[in-house]
Amino acid sequence: MKTLILKKDQIEQAANFIKKGELVSFPTETVYGLGADATNETAVKKVYAAKGRPSDNPLIVTVSSVEMVKKYVDHINDDAQKLIKAFWPGSLTMIFKLRPNVLSKAVTGGLNTAAFRFPQNQLTLDLITKAGVPIVGPSANTSGKPSPTTAQHVYHDLNGKIAAIIDDGPTTVGVESTVLDMSVKTPSILRPGAVTKDDIEAVIHQNVIDELHHVGTDQTPKAPGMKYKHYAPNAQVYIVDPEDSWLDVAKWIENHPQPVGVMAFDNVISSIDWPMNAQIVTLGSNSRTASRDLFADLREFDNHPEIKIIFTQGLKPSGIAEAYMNRLNKSAGQMHFKQL
Ligand code: TXA
Ligand code: MG
């Protein structure tokens, strides 16, 4: 199969692929997704095959209207309605209890709930509306690799495995949406993203549980996807914590004559006289730019197989930096510079 790259005037063609049960990668504000008709079980199964995704990991259902959610969900409570008003379209995915037998097991992984997302990207909303059905939307990467933030990343992982990619340039948020479980008594964050605990609490005026994604490897996280090795480039990533000295990092690199990757803020990069073997990419200047660039930078180093070690800026996990650190910890397998 030849994978087509489609532009904004070719959404009709993309919608036809979806209607025919083919796979189309779509842009969102967070990362690129891998779309298939959520009501077509055969199409959904192709998504798992293309990504190499474990089949017990449920998929997000991506919609272009609240009406679409109501086809599958009986009751959207007051808090959820407030959150929809505040954050949709946007980076908050919400889990609701489903009506019985409305979505296939391939979508839900056998759960009686599903995660719904209304992304902020006009081309994708047009795609869903034209296709007339919600589309499943996991990130469009090979399972285990950093999520794709450009059409080129998707092409790299899935060329030949999917019908088309809608190219709308690089994504702006860069880390996947916040996943909030609204099917339980106290809303609970299963995956941190750009919409934070504080943002949510400010809208619903009640406490939100935010511990479930901080589990060790011996426990089963509630979002099944959080238990797998994730976001890993070919090189080993080491986190340089806020209290660590980048001068010590530079010294370490100088003492180890091999190409070493560095991902840091502009002010760190410009303040140090780096040894020749340091290969440096920027994370911009703050937690927003760091989140936007994290996956793209990790992928950049996969183009340089001679690099076996990458030192990456760690941040205090608050605001969007909580999502950033959540993904970085997984990429690094919890390894820190100070352990070296
Ligand atoms: O930003 C995003 O959310 C991107 C873009 C493409 O929309 N999509 C995305 O999908 O990140 P995915 O499949 O890679 O991540 C969905 C996460 C997984 O960790 C999955 O286990 C969890 O949400 N999830 C999905 N349905 C669930 C459910 N019913 N209960 C608990 N967790 C669920
Ligand atoms: Mg993913």
Cβ-proximal residues to 211 (8 Å cutoff; 6+ apart), any chain: none
Residues 77-116 pLDDT 10s: 999 999 999 999 999 999 999 999 999 999 999 999 999 9
The DSSP letter of residue 336 is: B
| Fold designation for 236-339 | Rossmann fold (3.40.50)
Which residues have CB under 6 Å of ligand 1? 28, 30-31, 33, 57-60, 93, 95, 111, 113-115, 117, 119, 137-139, 176-177, 179, 190-191, 222-226
Token representation of residue 336 = 């820190």
For the chain, list residues with pLDDT below 50.
Answer: 217-219
Q: Which of 88, 97, 179 to mutate to test the pocket of ligand 1 (most atoms within 8 A of CB)?
A: 179
DSSP 84-126: HHHHSSSSEEEEEEPPTTSS-HHHHTT-SEEEEE--S-HHHHH
For ligand 2, the distance from its centroid to the CA atom of residue 243, given in whole angstroms, is 30
Ligand nearest to the CA of 103: 1
The pLDDT, as a whole number, for residue 230 is 79
Ligand nearest to the CA of 27: 1
Distance CA 107, CA 114 (A): 8
With H, G, I as helix, E, B as strand and everything else as coil, classify residue 11: helix
The pLDDT, as a whole number, for residue 232 is 85
Three-state SS sequence of 175-226: CCCEEEECCCCCCEEEECCCCCHHHHHHHHCCCCECCCCCCCCCCCCCCHHH
The pLDDT, as a whole number, for residue 220 is 53
For ligand 1, the distance from its centroid to the CA atom of residue 200, given in whole angstroms, is 18
Atom of ligand 1 nearest to the CA of 93: 3
The pLDDT, as a whole number, for residue 56 is 81
User: The domain at 4-204 falls in which architecture?
Assistant: Alpha-Beta Complex (3.90)
The pLDDT, as a whole number, for residue 217 is 43
Cβ-proximal residues to 254 (8 Å cutoff; 6+ apart), any chain: 275, 277
Token representation of residue 314 = 């760690």
Q: Parse the chain into domains and list their residue ranges.
A: 4-204, 236-339
* Cβ-contact 69, 63 below 8 angstroms: yes
Q: Write down the mean pLDDT value for the chain.
A: 94
The pLDDT, as a whole number, for residue 42 is 97
